[in-house]
A = this chain, B = another copy of it.
Amino acid sequence: MARRGRLQTAHGPVETPAFMPVGTAATVKAMTPDAVRTTGAEVVLGNTYHLMLRPSAERVAALGGLHKFMNWPGPILTDSGGYQVMSLAQRRTLTEDGVTFRSHIDGAEYHLTPERSMEIQHLLDATITMALDECTKWPVEKDAAAESMHLSMRWAARSKVGFQERDGYALFGISQGSVFEDLREESCAALTEIGFDGYAVGGLAVGEGQTEMFRALDFTTPHLPADRPRYLMGVGRPGDIVGAVARGIDMFDCVLPTRSGRTGKAFTRAGELNIRNAKHADADIPIDDACACPTCQQFSRAYLNHLFKAEEILGPVLLTWHNLHYYQDLMRDIRAAIEAGTLEQLADLHPGIA
């Protein structure tokens, strides 16, 4: 099921399978855009929810759009805001029309509808716009999952109408239905009927575990159009990504490499390590001796251990840089393995993948 592809966009190509670093608030945390580029990342995420609150979509538009604002001329995919409204906003009220909520920053009231989400993402100048959906909770009864999925499909149809088509810009629909096979099949059919430029699998990686997630992908991706990119939202660890690629997924995003970089956790070919561990204090070796990133080329584990103990900003900067580089190395190796037909042997290069 693994696929090797290339997205052509108004802001340049994206080789797939691709990992998209998360740049929630118009910045990939602790990284300059130049540094993000050196890792090989071709597309980054922005977030409708965060940006509509601060600095506001209208302000970003007045400043020339998100690409210019954050100095990332390449492709940008923006989340629709649905997931973050449910996880971050206060005093949410969900209706057929949309969701009313209060900002987690200053308590101000906002109303988000499929039409407003399309408008915001247009103002941001997102290369890839995501339809507004309700991210179904976990765990969830089947009746509730069905009701939530049906609402998301009606919002998907309204998103399609509200989206302003432009050459090289794309709108992705989002499959819901939790871990229920018939709901996922129904959701995929509804999205395909509406017709999108790409299809995301939402509502996974929410606590169900890798086994259940892979099982859901096994019965979901076959119902998505084969000639369109497939995006598994919010995933994941290296092993999750490799398993999802083998199940036909082309695109990923996850805060793990950036968030871990700020808390001292490093991804390596041999597995994960915590640089704060005392055993690294005298280790005059790089985080990963097979890694070509600036952190591994220039600094020892001992130095990084010191930076984290001293709470120096350079610690998160260097470890985030390494982690993003590791994730892009993984994607490069995955793409090469697909071309060579050797994806099943990928663990030889990345023995730490559980």
A54 pairs with B310, CB closer than 8 A: yes
Q: Would B281 and A27 count as touching, CB distance under 8 A?
A: no
Across-interface contacts of A194 in B (CB, < 8 A): none
Stretch at the interface among A55-63, A135-143, A233-241: A55-63
A234 to chain B, nearest CB (A): 21
Q: Which residues of B contact A54 (CB under 8 A)?
A: 306, 309-310
Query: In the complex where A26-B303, A69-B303, A299-B71 touch, is A282 in contact with B62 (Cβ < 8 A)?
Result: yes
The answer to whether A63 and B282 touch across the interface, beta carbons within 8 angstroms, is yes
Among A30, A59, A307, A314, chain B packs the most CB atoms within 10 A around the CB of A314
Cα–Cα, bound, A149→B323 (Å): 51
Considering only CB atoms, which chain B residue lies closest to A306 in the complex? B55
Count identical subunits in the complex. 2
Residues of chain B contacted by A309 (CB below 8 angstroms): 54-55
Q: Do A59 and B314 have beta carbons less than 8 Å apart?
A: no
**Contact string, A268-305, partner B, CB cutoff 8 A, digits 1/0?**
00000000000001101000000000100011101101
Instruction: Judge whether A281 and B55 touch: CB under 8 Å.
Output: yes
A313 located at the interface, meaning its Cβ lies under 8 Å from any Cβ of chain B in the complex: yes
Interface size range of chain A in the complex: 35 or more
**A12 contacts partner chain B, Cβ-Cβ < 8 Å:** no
A282 vs B26: C-alpha distance when bound (angstroms): 15
The answer to whether B71 touches A282 (Cβ under 8 A) is no
Asked if A216 is an interface residue, CB under 8 A from chain B, the answer is no
Q: Are A314 and B30 in contact (CB under 8 A)?
A: yes
| Chain B: minimal CB distance from A66 (Å) | 10
Evaluate contact between B300 and A63: CB separation under 8 angstroms.
Answer: yes
**A70 sits at the interface (CB 8 A):** yes
Chain B residues with CB under 8 A of A307 = 27
A164 on the B face (CB < 8 A): no
A22 at the interface (CB under 8 A from B): no
Residues of A within 8 A of B (CB): 25-27, 29-34, 50, 54-55, 59, 62-64, 69-71, 262, 281-282, 284, 294, 298-300, 302-303, 305-307, 309-310, 312-314, 316-318
Pick the 9 closest A-B CB pairs, nearest first: A30-B313, A55-B306, A71-B298, A27-B314, A25-B310, A27-B312, A63-B284, A63-B302, A69-B303
14 contacts across the A-B interface (CB closer than 8 A): A27-B307, A30-B313, A30-B314, A30-B317, A31-B314, A32-B294, A54-B309, A55-B306, A59-B282, A63-B282, A69-B302, A69-B303, A262-B313, A317-B317
